[in-house]
Amino acid sequence: MNFYILTKITDWLIMAKITLKKLSHSYLTKQNNDSDWALRGVDIDWKDGGAYALLGPSGCGKTTLLNIISGLLKPTKGEVLFDDKDVTVLNPVERDIAQIFQFPVIYDTMTVYDNLAFPLKNRGLSETEIDSKVKEIGEMLELTSTLNNKASGLTADGKQKISLGRGLVRSDVNVIMFDEPLTVIDPHLKWVLRSKLKELHQKINRTMIYVTHDQIEALTFADQVVVMHEGQIVQTGTPVELFEKPKHTFVGHFIGSPGMNILPCEIKNGQINFEGKILPTNTSLKKSNFNKTQVGIRPEFVNFSKDGIAVKVKRVSDTGRHKVIDTECGSGSIKILATSSTQIPSGSAHITFDQKYTYAYGDNWIIE
Amino acid sequence: MSLELKNVEKKVGIETHIHSTNLKLEKNTINILLGSTLAGKTTLMQIMAGLDKPTSGEIWFNGENVTGKEVQKRNCSMVYQQFINYPNFTVFENIASPLKITGIKTDEIKKRVGKVAELLKLSAMLEKKPDELSGGQQQRTALARALVKDSDLILLDEPLANLDFKLREELREELPKLFEDRDCIVVYATTEPLDALMIGGNTATLLEGNVIQYGKTLDVYSKPENLTSAKVFSDPPMNIAEIIKTGDTFKLADNNVQWKSNVQIKDGKYKIGIRPHNITTYKEGNNSVEINGKVLISELSGSESLIHFTNGNLNWVSLSNGIQQKNIGEDTKLHMNVNEFLYFDQNNRLVNHG
Amino acid sequence: MNKTFNQKAWLFVIPVFVLVAFNAAVPLMTVVNYSFQETFGSNVFAWEGTRWFKEILHSERFHASLGRQVIFTFIILLIQLPLGIGIALTMPKKGWGVPVCLILMSMPLLIPWNVVGAMWNIFALPDIGFLGNSLNTLGFDYNFTQQSGDAWFTTILMDVWHWTSLVVLLSYAGLNSIQPAYYQAAEIDGASRWDVFRYIELPKMKKVLTLAILLRFMDSFMIYTEPFVLTGGGPGNATNFLSLDLVKMALGQFDLGPAAAMSLIYFLIVLLICWVFYSIMMKDEARS
């Protein structure tokens, strides 16, 4: 009984602070320019027990970063620290991590029970300990009824749960990494597994890192999202921060469905000049010597009004819960997201931007 | 120009992959086949193209019976989920390949390829090979190859499924514009209801080899003929419960939630379908009813909150605008918009709505 | 899939039909014809019914050569499969080593079979052959032309040298198709090298290995050229495998009737084993 309590306490204590210092990686032996690097100067400081997401398009370096954190890849430059201990040269087993891949990785010839027990067997735990752990995780993942079945007979989401289970069953796991784990799951089950992962994180409180290109997966799962683009971190923040105040036009474009409207504008006397009108904004625009200045506003924060910027309404799509309106003005196209009940004018109309969420961007970075 | 399927059935051994289907697709329409992975979308499209023969039934194109006619003789093109391009050809040669077979002059080929490449933003990539392109560009090449033929029938089998989230959005937006000036019939298969709603056109909901409903997309969405069609056309999944009507009062069968409505149906037992965005943390609409729930988990995207909750043996999902952080096990009050309720009888047929 | 038919494709097949008919179908029918009759040459035939079949099936000689053949095939499979898999496991998956290894492995397969037999004949000669001489110098009493044990040893060694590469190449192809994520997951699980082999590599190579077993079984069960050139079936009857015995009967003794019957029995045995393999492979396909 004491031993049991002890393991529960150590479970709670063993978490990891993850620090990445100036991490750079290239798959080529010689690098001539920026594009030869998969990762460029990545710095990260993560606390224990959080849920983090690495979000970005294909080729942005997120899987490379994940593999460096897990130890499957040794970085060309930089350091990886777990709890201030340098683990850069340690392999995955020595780092006490678990990784779930894009497609289910299971041992076909074993039963579900044996699959879950396998990592524990290799670490020398006793039969009774293994049994209790496997049954506990089996119940958490709703696999109890299939424990004695052959693993190869399960559906894709069942198999992914086994992959996940093999990570959860080890109490020495510091970090659980997910590399686009819902890729092969049926769309209607994706949703179930997604909320299950979130539930799991809240229950067991271990650091989880989730890599994806799907913003909905990233934003619903993580407390902190790291947005990556071409090997660099563009912005880190909570889903709300990334949504309400994107620091880079890429973040504005990438997050939100549809993404932020980004249009060319002029900055004169600390004010945004767009389509012949001055747009009120809450940010003070001190600097103004940029090659490219743009104004950004999310479709959710554009409203129809009696006067304002003149636009032509091109297309209205009704998605049931809201309407997506494509409009066109002199400087480009502006998308608007409105509730289903909003009256949409046809032909010509006028729009205004919500002052609180209107931002100016100089050379793609926010002007504050 | 029209494509008509008359009593088309497809059996493989003892399994029926497509049950007797009747469908008429008109010229200049985008028709979406919406259903889950094994619903029969691909099989149906292969029969339409002529890559497969139905076990029974006929296919009529432009008033002519084309059942059994080989796909090479039918004027159609197809785009797949995996980006299918000739790996040894450049983008230009890939797009030109269907034209070369028909023996058109080189000048004409160049002109047509150039036009389609511009439409799909590939003009700068014409001399590259497919493996030098990104996923999105490879799929655009496949699309260009399908469009350059000026076929009467263009079939797209989940063309965006292998693309990144953002790329999918972009390409989905461009698709209707691509087909605007063409006199053709477009058939688009997908598992995502959002694709159907954003593209518009007509939608056919499929389940297990059956076409459940076909009509204008918004009609199929807001007036599903039966519970199955409603379920297929919902993402996140629809919330369903048993209800009892007495007079003008409606009550959930298993707990005390009740509301009044003027919906004209007989008294008795029914089923109700509520889409998640009609259950919110704030009041919406002029007729709403409250429901208490215990929070299972709340998922927050940047601008919306998905709250999973339980009430008795109901396990439901609500979708609200804005960020509403709720803890697991918290008791919460939610509002349901009665005007958006869908009522189904005991045979799962829609009897009324709102 | 019920594709629309293209009848013109059949025209491409006609030349093959003619060739196969000439080289296989007609001779096979001739053999069947001979197996039911007695002939003294010059096209004189006497109907014997199933006499030859009964004689063969009861003959000691047939049992002996069949027995030798079965033992030979069994030993061959026992050695070549683990050895082939083992070599494939050590071959590199990336880099310049890959083409070098692949070419080295392919080379024994490209040598004409009678040349293989002749090579090993000279190689194993007890007085002037490198192998024979070395073994005798080391103190072994080695003479494959006179001692049956040595003849078996040499024949098996020759076959292993000649054909293991086939198993290697097939296993290598199977191993290469395993996605790296499996190895990574095993690394994370703390699995030993043996565990990785037993739980990941072997199950994933199942299809390829079934093919390898089938091919090696068939080829070794029908082996003729190499042992014929190497030992001629000797010393005495020591390495007189089924096909060697068959040819002796047909061409040496000119007993065409019994030889034909034996050919057919031989053919049916091979066909039976192939059918067993086919059923196993089909059952696996259906299950997966």
Kindly list the residues from chain C whose CB atom is less than 8 angstroms away from the CB atom of residue A110. 199
Question: What CATH number did the domain enclosing C113 receive?
Answer: 1.10.3720.10
Give the best-scoring range by mean pLDDT among A89-93, C166-170, C235-239: C166-170
C66-113 residue pLDDT tens: 999 999 999 999 999 999 999 999 999 888 889 999 999 999 999 999
What is the ipTM for the molecules in this complex?
A: 0.82
> Could you tell me what percentage of chain B is helix, strand and coil, using 3-state DSSP and rounding each to the nearest 5?
25, 40, 35
Q: Do B69 and C3 touch (CB under 8 A)?
A: no
Contact call for residues C36 and C259 (beta carbons, < 8 A): no
- The residues, any chain, with a CB within 8 Å of residue B38's CB and separated by 6 or more, are B208
Mean of the pLDDT values across residues A105-117? 92
Paired tokens of B32: 């979406």
Which residue ranges make up each domain of chain B? 2-229, 239-353
Nearest residue in A to C192, CA atom: A122
Contact call for residues A351 and A303 (beta carbons, < 8 A): yes
pLDDT at B330 over 80: yes
Residue of A182, A188, A253, A356 to mutate for B, most B C-beta atoms under 10 A: A188
Nearest Cα residue to B290 out of B242, B337, B327: B337
User: What pLDDT does C6 receive?
Assistant: 64
State the Cα–Cα distance between residues A360 and B42, nearest whole angstrom: 47
pLDDT at A115 over 90: yes
The distance between the two most distant Cα atoms of chain B, rounded to a whole number of Å, is 75
Contact call for residues A264 and A296 (beta carbons, < 8 A): no
A121-155 residue pLDDT tens: 988 889 999 999 999 888 888 888 888 999 888 88
Subunits with 3+ C-beta pairs closer than 8 A to B? A, C
DSSP, res A342: P
pLDDT at C43 over 80: no
User: What pLDDT does A17 receive?
Assistant: 84
Mean of the pLDDT values across residues B136-150? 89
Q: Which domain holds residue C153?
A: 61-255+265-287
DSSP, res B130: G
User: What pLDDT does B354 receive?
Assistant: 61
Q: pLDDT band at C161, cuts 50/70/90?
A: very high
Q: Give the one of B52, B70, B71 whose C-beta lies nearest to C2's C-beta.
A: B52
Q: Do B166 and A259 touch (CB under 8 A)?
A: yes
Tokens 């033929």: give the residue. B149
What are the structural domains of chain A? 2-25+35-244 (3.40.50.300), 261-366 (2.40.50.140)
* DSSP per position, A332-345: EEEEEEEETTPPPP
Q: At what angle do helices B91-102 and B106-119 cross, to 10 degrees?
A: 130
User: What pLDDT does C49 receive?
Assistant: 78
Percent pLDDT > 90 in chain C is 40
pLDDT at A36 over 80: yes
Mean pLDDT of chain B: 87
Contact call for residues A337 and A323 (beta carbons, < 8 A): yes
> Is there a domain that residue C30 lies in?
no
Q: pLDDT band at A173, cuts 50/70/90?
A: confident
User: What pLDDT does A6 receive?
Assistant: 52
**Distance, in angstroms, between A144 CA and closest chain C CA?**
21
pLDDT at C1 over 50: no
Q: Do C203 and A108 touch (CB under 8 A)?
A: yes
Q: Do A320 and B277 touch (CB under 8 A)?
A: yes
Kindly list the residues from chain A whose CB atom is less than 8 angstroms away from the CB atom of residue C190. 93, 119, 122-123
Q: pLDDT band at A10, cuts 50/70/90?
A: very low
The CATH class given to the B2-229 domain equals alpha beta
User: What pLDDT does C197 receive?
Assistant: 93
Q: Do B50 and C1 touch (CB under 8 A)?
A: no
A205-247 residue pLDDT tens: 788 999 999 888 898 889 899 999 988 999 999 988 999 999 9
> Is there a domain that residue C40 lies in?
no
> Is there a domain that residue C236 lies in?
yes
B115-136 residue pLDDT tens: 899 888 888 888 988 888 888 8
**Distance, in angstroms, between C190 CA and closest chain A CA?**
6
* Total of domains in chain C: 1
Q: pLDDT band at B234, cuts 50/70/90?
A: confident
Look at strands B288-300 and B304-311 and give their pairing. antiparallel
Percent pLDDT > 90 in chain B is 20
3-state secondary structure of A311: strand
Mean of the pLDDT values across residues A55-60? 88
Q: What is the pTM of this model?
A: 0.81
State the Cα–Cα distance between residues C169 and B272, nearest whole angstrom: 62
User: What pLDDT does A246 receive?
Assistant: 93
Mean pLDDT of chain C: 87
pLDDT at B174 over 50: yes
Mean of the pLDDT values across residues C251-260? 79
Q: Do B302 and A256 touch (CB under 8 A)?
A: yes
> Is there a domain that residue C32 lies in?
no
Q: What is the CATH number of domain B239-353?
A: 2.40.50.140
pLDDT at A3 over 70: no
Percent pLDDT > 70 in chain A is 96
What own/partner pairs with CB < 8 Å and gap ≥ 24 does C49-57 have? C51/C257, C52/C257, C52/C258, C52/C260, C52/C261, C52/C262, C53/C261, C53/C264, C53/C265, C55/C258, C55/C261, C56/C258, C56/C261, C56/C262, C56/C265, C57/C265
pLDDT at A12 over 70: no
Bigger pLDDT: A189 vs C231: C231
